[in-house]
């Protein structure tokens, strides 16, 4: 039996979502958690990959952060809000799909940092004992590790399908 495409472009240019209930449930909890982390712990090391340095010079970097920091953070919050607002929708506009890509990539980067995924480990299989600290979908460590693995699969699936459906290429780091 052929599986229907879960994310595809319609004739009108919209993006059709057919995400399974379990993937939607997983994606439902994560944007709020990242939003809280951005608000309550903006200096958390797991956020560093969301805001890489723009300048090598500390003084220039501090000025850049002062001028652009709020705008960069607000853009990330807007993307997270779009996922929350459209998660139960069957169709997304191109702009909404772009926001999904941004938010999924941000979640991937934060989780990757928390799991200590680096360029050297991207191709290695994560040990099942790794724990997704801070992003909790349940209280047990075993289910946190499972949720992390599930998010990786769901995120990779959503991102790659969105990219193909939107006709986007090359503008994002899409290794989930």
Convert the pLDDT of each residue in 82-100 to its tens digit: 999 999 999 999 999 999 9
**DSSP secondary structure string, the chain?**
-PPPPSEEE-TTS-EEE---HHHHHHHHHHHHHHHHHHHH-TT-GGGGGGS--S-SSHHHHHHHHHHHHHHHHHHHHHHHHHHHHHTT-SEE-HHHHHHHHHHHHHHHHHHHHHTT--TTTTTSPPPTT----S--SSSSHHHHHHHHHHHHHHHHHHHHHHHHHHT--SSS----
From the CA atom positions of the chain, what is the Rg in Å? 17
**Domain assignment present for 171:** no
The confidence score (pLDDT) of residue 174 equals 32
**Domain assignment present for 78:** yes
Structural domains in the chain (count): 1
**Domain assignment present for 82:** yes
DSSP character for 173? -
**Domain assignment present for 176:** no
Show the tokens assigned to 149. 């693995």
**Domain assignment present for 128:** yes
Looking at per-residue confidence, does 131 or 88 come out higher?
88
The confidence score (pLDDT) of residue 168 equals 45
> Quick one: which H or E segment has residue 64?
helix 58-86
The confidence score (pLDDT) of residue 6 equals 84
Mean pLDDT of the chain: 78
Q: What residues make up the domain containing 97?
A: 7-166
pLDDT at residue 135 greater than cutoff 50: no
Q: How far apart are CA 176 and CA 167, in angstroms?
A: 18
Residues belonging to the chain: 176
**Domain assignment present for 2:** no
**Domain assignment present for 174:** no
Kindly list the strands in the beta sheet with 15-17, ordered across the sheet, starting from the edge strand earlier in the chain: 7-9, 15-17, 91-92
**Domain assignment present for 31:** yes
Lowest mean pLDDT among 17-21, 76-80, 111-115, 121-125: 121-125
């Amino acid at each position: 039996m052929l599986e229907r495409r879960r994310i595809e472009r319609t004739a009108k240019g919209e993006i059709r979502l057919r995400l399974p209930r379990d993937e939607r449930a997983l994606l439902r909890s994560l944007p709020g958690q990242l939003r809280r982390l951005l608000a309550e712990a903006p200096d958390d090391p797991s956020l560093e990959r969301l805001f890489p340095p723009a300048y090598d010079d500390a003084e220039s970097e501090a000025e850049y952060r002062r001028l652009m920091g709020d705008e960069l953070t607000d853009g990330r919050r807007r993307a997270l809000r779009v996922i929350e607002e459209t998660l139960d929708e069957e169709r997304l506009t191109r702009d909404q799909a772009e926001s999904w890509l941004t938010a999924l990539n941000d979640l991937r980067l934060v989780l990757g940092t928390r799991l200590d995924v680096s360029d050297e480990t991207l191709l290695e299989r994560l040990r099942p004992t790794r724990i997704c600290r801070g992003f909790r979908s349940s209280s047990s460590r075993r289910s946190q590790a499972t949720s992390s693995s599930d998010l990786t699969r769901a995120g990779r699936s959503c991102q790659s399908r969105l990219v193909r459906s939107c006709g986007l290429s090359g503008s994002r780091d899409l290794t989930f």
